[in-house]
Amino acid sequence: MAIRSKLAATISMSAFAAALGAAATPALAQDDTQPDTTTATAEGEDDDVIVVTGFRAALESAVAEKKLKDQIIESVSAEDIGKLPDASIGESIARLPGLTSQRISGRAGYISVRGFGPDFSSTLLNGRQQTSTSDNRGIEFDQYPSEIVSAVDVYKSPSADLVGQGLVGTIDIRTIRPLEKNDRVVAFGARGVYADLGALNSGSDDLGYRVFGTYVDQFAGDTLGLSLSVAYSNEPYQTEEFEAWGYADAPDGNKIIGGVKPFVTSSSLKRLGINGTVQYDAGSDWMVTLDGFYSDFDDTQIKRGIEIPLAWSGATLEPNGREVQDGLITGGTFSGVEAVVNNHNYVRKAKLYSGGLNIAHEGDDGWNVNFDIGYSRTDRNELILESNAGTAPGGGTGAVDTLTFVSSPSGTLFTDHMLDYSDPTLILLTDPLGWGGGAPGGRQHGYYNNRIVDDELLQFQADIEKEFEGGFLDSIAAGFDFVTREKSLVPDEYFLQLSGDRLQAQVPANLLLEPTNLDYLGLGPMVSYSPLALLEAGEYVIVPNTSQDVLFKSFAINEDIMTFYAQGNIESDLGNAMLTGNFGIQAIHADQGSTGYVNTGAAAGIVERTLGDDYWDVLPSLNLSLRFDSDFVIRFAAAREIQRPRLDDMRVNFGYGVDPVEQIVTGSGGNPSLRPYRATAFDLNFEKYFGTSGYIAVQLFHKTLHNYIYTAEAPFDYSSYPVTDPGFPFSYEGRISQPVNGDGGKIYGAELAGTLPFDTFTSALEGFGITGGVSYTKSEIQPDPNSPPSDIPGYSRWVANGTAYFERGGFSIRGSARYRSTFLGDFSGFGANRVRRRALAETIIDAQIGYDFQDGSALDGLSVFLQGFNLTNEPFVAINPGEPLQVLNHQNYGRRFMGGFTYKF
């Protein structure tokens, strides 16, 4: 647009040229680094022009993007992503002001924007909507290797031409565009990875590697461009996990640990990412771009641990030696303990296909047209294979243990025990506590749960724009977008039973593995084996689980979303300032449907049904930027925003059963008629820029949620529904819970952000600088209309991140810190379902040192580095709210170190 050329004139031309060079350079690969001769001059240019490269150039690129955009955005370039280098783009996005992440297996899997979790933001790839590897809409960012990404823009305020926007933010991942390069580039690199917890499980590794290669070239007089990037990683992740069942009421009025379920988890993450782009300059201002992305993601885990029922069991708390602190019995001895030895396999495989064709025309007459077709598909299988072992089948029949325990902020540890859990003649394959009452014959020696998820999306977009010379309006545009999506989840579940109708069996000697050490809990070694190997060897047979619960887990959701938009773009002189921005409107028609199983309560019983709804949303938006010659910018944004519901909340499924505690019938289900989250948002920014080398900004925001989705419970009469007799009296007058729409409340806050190279103030500090931000968010969301305002999932009141760096003469040193205050986090529950618990505040520290060989060196083009992640070994901890000693989860990921090189020529 014309606005770009005019705004560029307000920026220092030397700094702007450096920023544009940095913006193009990162499109190479993760470490597409030029020699850091920060005072060198470009050949043929004025000697006063400073060419900035490396990490500083990436920051300038991000600053220039933030300065030129009319929306409120945060940006990160591939130089920033690659040079760290992070395991995925998630870690780098989490460093941006107002953003943070939740670690899953030690990785930045989910991103929160302005206090809202992944259910409230959306992610695009090259401007196109994407399918996800999760059960819902939220993108798991470790699916995308950082090596293939050119840049990421996070839009905090929407505009009418931004289709697929989220309620609190829209994350747009950008890949390489070869015709934006000036010449051919070949780059490749490798790095080794070390997890300092060691190989916790037999068959796991503490060493891994990552490799990548990128090729970019132009042909036919620079009218045809080709880029290809390939990245492969094989990385280990190790975790020491403590999980509590919960805390019981002790007879003396204190609380006491009810039971524990600890694991050591070893993950092997194998990920192949391939991205390719072909661009053709067809002449007459026509550009054709074809791009594709493929990801093959294999996360294989082995989890081994001992599940120990304590207060919630037949175990006895001895009267002597008890210790009490803050209403919790923190020490004592349990006798008569019957433990369950667990060996679990988790195999998660996902393949993601994404691509599109774009045809764009920018005419000399001011008319611009754009056509885009995009396709995205995810195929995912998640197999969970659980195997149980103990001293004898059924409760009260085998050897028991006496355990002395201590409960602390690290969880519950055991200082003394009697049984040898590594003895294969004592620890047998069986149903130790008789938990398999629902299985045929009452025998459940393990469980086989395969979750099959298919997600497919097709998108078509067309728009037209007319530019004007002079006047208040710079251009007007109108467009149309259509997205059709279908996502399904099919559970394939079986009971594991020992073959030959056996009640118990020893693990075959040839399938026994080196015992797993649980010394971090004080339990010593335990029997270890692979449940998959036992199944393949015929030790187990699988018996289908035909219960209603399995049927009710499945769902298929289909959506047809049609969007019309119109937008006017503003550019006008206003005294000694320039006013830029846009105003517009989106009209969105949604047609949604859900297919699943419902218990009708009639003679038909369980039937498959398809229900849904359709509706319109109208979303006006306004973005204004008042730009002063002093490089001071005031921004104002106002918009109506929506976020479509979670997919599992939209399922049609409905199931019920008798609650044995309350002795009433309770049921739950989804709601295929759910409307989106809806909000009115306002933003006000004050930004001071230093050319494009740095900035400091104060960002204020306020959102009022007019429509929120919460789970409501209501009375329900089940007297006309068939109910399986539980063997005790019960009432048909029960209740049902399902997601519904209601009022939400408001959320508001402030962010202080900036990038400050210290040579802005004095040349003596050339090469030094800082970047980062602090965000405060206040939530007054009322998830349940009958309850006071409370925190929403992913919400942290305080988020802070910062990076201090030195880069000069080829040397690069960086240290990064990321902090978030307490929040409701997602944890893996039974059958891979997510449960939410109160996570404690955490601070993550990373650092890197590197060197880029300089011009004239025999090794010119080579960069080497060493990086450390989570250097303070910060755990991920969840507690009962307000009870720091009542630890529910404590996950220790350890430190990770990575060293390697990149070579470019």
Tens of pLDDT along 730-771?
Answer: 999 998 888 999 888 899 999 999 999 999 889 999 999 999
Contact yes or no for 15/691 (Cβ under 8 A): yes
Assign 794 to helix, strand or coil.
coil
pLDDT in tens, 101-116: 877 777 877 788 887 8
The DSSP secondary-structure symbol of 445 reads: S
Q: What is the pLDDT of residue 748?
A: 93
Range with the lowest mean pLDDT among 114-123, 220-229, 425-434, 820-829? 820-829
pLDDT in tens, 847-859: 999 999 988 899 9
Q: What is the pLDDT of residue 53?
A: 60
38 has a pLDDT exceeding 50: no
Position 624: which residue type?
Answer: L
Mean pLDDT of 482-506: 95
169-174, strands of its sheet edge to edge: 73-77, 151-155, 169-174, 121-125, 128-129
Structure-token pair, residue 256: 């006491």
Rounded-to-integer distance, Cα 111 and Cα 294, Å: 22
Assign 692 to helix, strand or coil.
coil
Structure-token pair, residue 90: 């998630």
**In whole angstroms, what separates CA 737 from the centre of its chain?**
28
Mean pLDDT of 137-163: 88
Position 727: which residue type?
Answer: G
Q: What is the pLDDT of residue 598?
A: 81
pLDDT band at residue 29 using 50, 70 and 90 as cut-offs: very low
Rounded-to-integer distance, Cα 534 and Cα 537, Å: 5
Structure-token pair, residue 233: 């990683």
Rounded-to-integer distance, Cα 291 and Cα 847, Å: 34
CA atoms within 13 A on the CB side of 612: 17
Mean pLDDT of 368-397: 95
CA-closest candidate to residue 386, choices 828, 704, 703, 771: 828
Structure-token pair, residue 190: 């490798």
Contact yes or no for 25/79 (Cβ under 8 A): yes
Contact yes or no for 57/25 (Cβ under 8 A): yes
Helix locations, 750-890, DSSP H: none
Contact yes or no for 203/530 (Cβ under 8 A): yes
The per-residue DSSP string of 115-157 comes to TB-GGGEEEEETTEE---SSSSS---GGGS-GGG--EEEEESS
Rounded-to-integer distance, Cα 697 and Cα 683, Å: 13
- 132-164 in b/e burial notation, b at 16+ Cβ within 10 A? bbbbbbbbbbbbbbbbbbbbbbbbbbbbbbbbb
Mean pLDDT of 499-520: 95
Instruction: Please state, as a whole number, how many other Cβ atoms lie within 10 Å of the Cβ of residue 563.
Output: 20
Q: Is 286 exposed, middle or buried (0-12, 13-18, 19+ CB in 10 A)?
A: middle
40 has a pLDDT exceeding 50: no
Position 610: which residue type?
Answer: T
Range with the lowest mean pLDDT among 24-33, 402-411, 593-602, 888-897? 24-33
User: What is the largest distance, in Å, between two alpha-carbon atoms of the chain?
Assistant: 91
Give Cβ neighbours of residue 500 (< 8 Å, ≥ 6 apart): none
Pairing outcome for strands 768-781 and 731-742: unpaired
Q: Is 249 exposed, middle or buried (0-12, 13-18, 19+ CB in 10 A)?
A: exposed
Tokens 């819902």 appear where? 136
13 has a pLDDT exceeding 70: no
Rounded-to-integer distance, Cα 827 and Cα 741, Å: 25
Residue 592 phi/psi, 5-degree rounding, is: -120, 145
Instruction: Please state, as a whole number, how many other Cβ atoms lie within 10 Å of the Cβ of residue 219.
Output: 12
Position 215: which residue type?
Answer: Y
Structure-token pair, residue 637: 């944004």
Rounded-to-integer distance, Cα 811 and Cα 766, Å: 13
pLDDT band at residue 827 using 50, 70 and 90 as cut-offs: low
Q: What is the pLDDT of residue 271?
A: 92
Contact yes or no for 324/260 (Cβ under 8 A): no
Element (H, E) at 78: helix 78-83
Q: What is the pLDDT of residue 751?
A: 96
87 has a pLDDT exceeding 60: no
Three state DSSP letters for 154-182: EECCCCCCCCCCCCCEEEEEECCCHHHCC
Instruction: Please state, as a whole number, how many other Cβ atoms lie within 10 Å of the Cβ of residue 801.
Output: 24
Q: What is the pLDDT of residue 101?
A: 82
Beta-bridge mates of residue 412: 407
Percent of the chain residues topping a pLDDT of 90: 66
Position 494: which residue type?
Answer: Y
Residue 7 phi/psi, 5-degree rounding, is: -70, -35
Mean pLDDT of 226-231: 95
Rounded-to-integer distance, Cα 671 and Cα 819, Å: 37
Give Cβ neighbours of residue 870 (< 8 Å, ≥ 6 apart): 106, 844, 845, 846, 893, 894, 895, 896
Q: What is the pLDDT of residue 713?
A: 83
pLDDT in tens, 257-292: 999 999 999 999 999 999 999 999 998 899 999 999
Position 631: which residue type?
Answer: D
Q: Is 228 exposed, middle or buried (0-12, 13-18, 19+ CB in 10 A)?
A: middle
Beta-bridge mates of residue 642: 678
3-state helix, strand, coil in the chain (%, to 5): 10, 60, 30
Q: What is the pLDDT of residue 470?
A: 82
14 has a pLDDT exceeding 70: no
CA atoms within 13 A on the CB side of 363: 11
Beta-bridge mates of residue 848: 814, 867
Rounded-to-integer distance, Cα 878 and Cα 64, Å: 40
Rounded-to-integer distance, Cα 548 and Cα 594, Å: 18
Give Cβ neighbours of residue 93 (< 8 Å, ≥ 6 apart): 76, 99, 101, 108, 111, 141, 152, 154, 171
Structure-token pair, residue 500: 């030959």
Contact yes or no for 417/411 (Cβ under 8 A): no
β strands within 250-283, DSSP E: 255-260, 263-283
pLDDT in tens, 659-685: 877 889 988 888 999 999 999 999 999
Contact yes or no for 345/900 (Cβ under 8 A): no
Range with the lowest mean pLDDT among 481-485, 527-531, 667-671, 890-894? 667-671
435 has a pLDDT exceeding 70: yes
826 has a pLDDT exceeding 50: yes
Rounded-to-integer distance, Cα 732 and Cα 664, Å: 6
Contact yes or no for 885/848 (Cβ under 8 A): no
Residue 237 phi/psi, 5-degree rounding, is: -130, 135
Tokens 């900004």 appear where? 697
Q: What is the pLDDT of residue 742?
A: 85
Contact yes or no for 718/658 (Cβ under 8 A): no
Rounded-to-integer distance, Cα 777 and Cα 703, Å: 11
Q: What is the pLDDT of residue 270?
A: 94
Assign 486 to helix, strand or coil.
strand
Q: What is the pLDDT of residue 182?
A: 83
Q: What is the pLDDT of residue 844?
A: 93
Rounded-to-integer distance, Cα 432 and Cα 389, Å: 6
